[in-house]
Structure 1
Amino acid sequence: MNLNDLHIFVQAVESGGFAAAARRLRIPKSTVSKRVAELEDGLGARLIQRTSRSFTLTDVGRDFYDHARAAVIEAEAAENVVRRRQVEPSGVVKITTAVPTAQFRLAERLPLLARTYPKLRVELHATDRFVDVVQEGFDIAVRSHFAPLPASGLVQRRLAVESIILVASPGYLAEHGKPRHPEDLSEHDGLPTSATATTWKLRGRSGEAALVVPRARMIADESIVLLKAAIAGLGIVCMPETLVRADVEAGRLVRVLPGWTAGMVTTTILTPHRRGQLPAVRAVIDFLMEGADAA
């Protein structure tokens, strides 16, 4: 079946006649009439009852129109996907995110993005304060969160979900011993994020839970500070896997209680609905999502 014939048939129906469809398509009326007639011949069914005064769909014509219109829409969508990729994204895309997310999730990806799309300019604003994406004119927000985000009218795409794990330096574990059970942590130094977060809620592989209170050796609400403190041997720290992966792979940190986690953190991309459809913004989102899949 010729897709062009489906397109002409749909236009004829939506225009209310062959003459109107011909004007919309900028082709002769005789061509519209001929293509619809050949479509009907190929199907062996009358789709349109037409006289000099009326133009109505038959019962089978109405059913055929519903499917033909869907096929045309899908074909146009497929074409648009290719065209969007052929057009090189350009312009400014403004991103806001928290400092740790910028450092550990975006710092390596954004230079690759700039090389892939040289006509695209990203403006990254890293801050730990809450940013109103719409009011402050941002195209994209990348947020890491422990609980579901509240409804905001922004389009959400989940970038990653990862465990929060416990790590310490080999030197610290050599000096203080390696915890075998969660309750052992009460005899160890911990590196909490605040004076009110000194109790760690752990969960095992089988779903069992444990509340532990290590000795607060040092408190800081900044990830890099806590990471450096752990590497320096000051104690055990709870951090998302992404933040400690390089140091674990390099041997500067070691996983503690590998069967237990301290919760999950989700990273989500948010965009205002209309701005998310812009080619440049769409390209940045797709690039970040591809990076998440590769990781």
Structure 2
Amino acid sequence: MAPINDLNNLVFFVKVVDAGSYSAAAEALDMQTSKLSRRVSALETELGVRLLNRTTRRLSLTEIGKTFYGHCVALIAEAQSAKDAVHQTLSSPQGLVRLSCPVGLLQGGVADILAKFLVAEPQVRVALDATNRRVDVVDEGIDIAIRVRVPPFEDSDLAMRTFGPSKMILVASTRLVQELGMPVHLADVARMPIVAMGYAGDKVTWRFQDKDNKTQELVHTPRLHTDDLLTLRSAALRGIGVACVPALAVMTELRAGMLIRLLPHLSTRSGIIHAIFPSRRGMIPAVRSLLDFLAAELAESSWQSLMQEDEDK
């Protein structure tokens, strides 16, 4: 069956019944009585039934009109509930946010930030897709996709918000440094055991730039080669070898003195932590709140100040 041509006619019909006359309903709706009468007549013609019995003194519902009226009232109530739900969602952060984030970035600190956000916003729910694959935020219905990429970024119709650099640094446990000494040059690190991110292979190459922008390379066969950041961090903490890891992933251990940053004068090409999302228009408060929370936490976190301290040395 074809849908009603104009759902407004259902509202007009209910208003006439509730008011008891066309004139009273027209006054309440601030429209002409003749126009209101035509709209209800058009509805009856479309349905092929008479909904109202008209006399000079009063209106009354036909039997089918009573049935139809009940459904119309329920439909209008549901429509109002839907509108109220939207207004409630827009009034404060609440509802579901669909988030995509790489595993390494979650392990490197974003998971803790997300947990803090959920504590701060108890009305918000998060569906987290922990994945390293490239996602289509529009086709997959994702509200926010967090990524780390090295500029320049390709052109895109999607909106983007940057959070800051993702710096890779060399670290080693206090025990390993005490045993083998504090390295002064990259060649000193070459004489130390290494644990590295990546897939299995015989050798790993680390490339750095010094303060004069000169490139330095270290080619080494690692004692441990893994694509799991938590395993790599654990190995570094236990003194198994030197690791090159995201600064965010070891900020707590660096502050506690469990790990030591090596050769702070060397740097790697930094990626940018950023979020991509379909559009800035029509963004619900829950999504905007999470974006703002991520930006604040990443900008004000200790690892940023830690990096600044090293750069100022």
Distance (Å, rounded) in 1 between the aligned partners of 2:267 and 2:185: 12
Q: Is the 8 A contact 2:107 2:229 kept in 1?
A: no
Shift of 1:197: 6.7
Shift of 1:275: 6.8
Distance (Å, rounded) in 1 between the aligned partners of 2:197 and 2:186: 19
Q: How does 1:166-181 map to 2 (within 5 A)?
A: 166-181=170-185
- Whichever residue aligns with residue 265 of structure 2, its letter is G
Work out whether 1:106 is the aligned partner of 2:110: yes
Distance (Å, rounded) in 2 between the aligned partners of 1:274 and 1:207: 38
Q: How does 1:61-76 map to 2 (within 5 A)?
A: none
* Structure 1 segments unaligned to the other structure (5+ residues): 1-82
* Stretch of structure 1 that moved more, 274-283 or 100-109: 274-283
Q: How does 1:215-254 map to 2 (within 5 A)?
A: 215-254=221-260
Q: How does 1:19-58 map to 2 (within 5 A)?
A: none
Q: Is the 8 A contact 1:192 1:198 kept in 2?
A: yes
Distance (Å, rounded) in 1 between the aligned partners of 2:281 and 2:197: 35
Distance (Å, rounded) in 1 between the aligned partners of 2:136 and 2:219: 36
Q: How does 1:107-122 map to 2 (within 5 A)?
A: 107-122=111-126
- Whichever residue aligns with residue 109 of structure 2, its letter is R
Work out whether 1:208 is the aligned partner of 2:214: yes
Shift of 1:272: 0.7
Shift of 1:111: 2.8
- Whichever residue aligns with residue 157 of structure 1, its letter is R
TM-score, normalized by length of structure 1? 0.66
Shift of 1:273: 1.4
The corresponding residue for 1:255 is: 261
Shift of 1:223: 0.8
Shift of 1:274: 5.8
Q: Is the 8 A contact 2:148 2:166 kept in 1?
A: no
Distance (Å, rounded) in 2 between the aligned partners of 1:146 and 1:272: 21
The corresponding residue for 1:9 is: none
Distance 1:229 1:159, change over 3 A: same
What do residues 200-232 of structure 1 show as CA deviations (whole Å, max 9, x unaligned)? 101112322211113321101111111111111
Q: Any idea what SS the aligned residue of 1:142 has? A: strand
- Whichever residue aligns with residue 172 of structure 1, its letter is L
Distance (Å, rounded) in 2 between the aligned partners of 1:228 and 1:93: 32
Distance 1:162 1:101, change over 3 A: closer
What do residues 45-88 of structure 1 show as CA deviations (whole Å, max 9, x unaligned)? xxxxxxxxxxxxxxxxxxxxxxxxxxxxxxxxxxxxxx99x921
Distance (Å, rounded) in 2 between the aligned partners of 1:276 and 1:107: 26
Distance (Å, rounded) in 1 between the aligned partners of 2:113 and 2:251: 16
* Stretch of structure 1 that moved more, 193-202 or 221-230: 193-202
What do residues 242-291 of structure 1 show as CA deviations (whole Å, max 9, x unaligned)? 11111111222111112112331211111011676233212221221122
Distance (Å, rounded) in 2 between the aligned partners of 1:276 and 1:165: 39
What do residues 75-128 of structure 1 show as CA deviations (whole Å, max 9, x unaligned)? xxxxxxxx99x9212211100001122233322222332233222211111122
Q: Any idea what SS the aligned residue of 1:233 has? A: coil
What do residues 19-59 of structure 1 show as CA deviations (whole Å, max 9, x unaligned)? xxxxxxxxxxxxxxxxxxxxxxxxxxxxxxxxxxxxxxxxx
Q: How many residues align?
A: 214
Work out whether 1:91 is the aligned partner of 2:71: no
Shift of 1:147: 4.2
Distance (Å, rounded) in 2 between the aligned partners of 1:252 and 1:230: 10
Distance (Å, rounded) in 2 between the aligned partners of 1:226 and 1:275: 41
Distance (Å, rounded) in 2 between the aligned partners of 1:187 and 1:290: 40
Distance 1:207 1:126, change over 3 A: same
Distance (Å, rounded) in 2 between the aligned partners of 1:292 and 1:228: 23
* Structure 2 segments unaligned to the other structure (5+ residues): 1-86, 302-313
Distance (Å, rounded) in 2 between the aligned partners of 1:222 and 1:197: 17
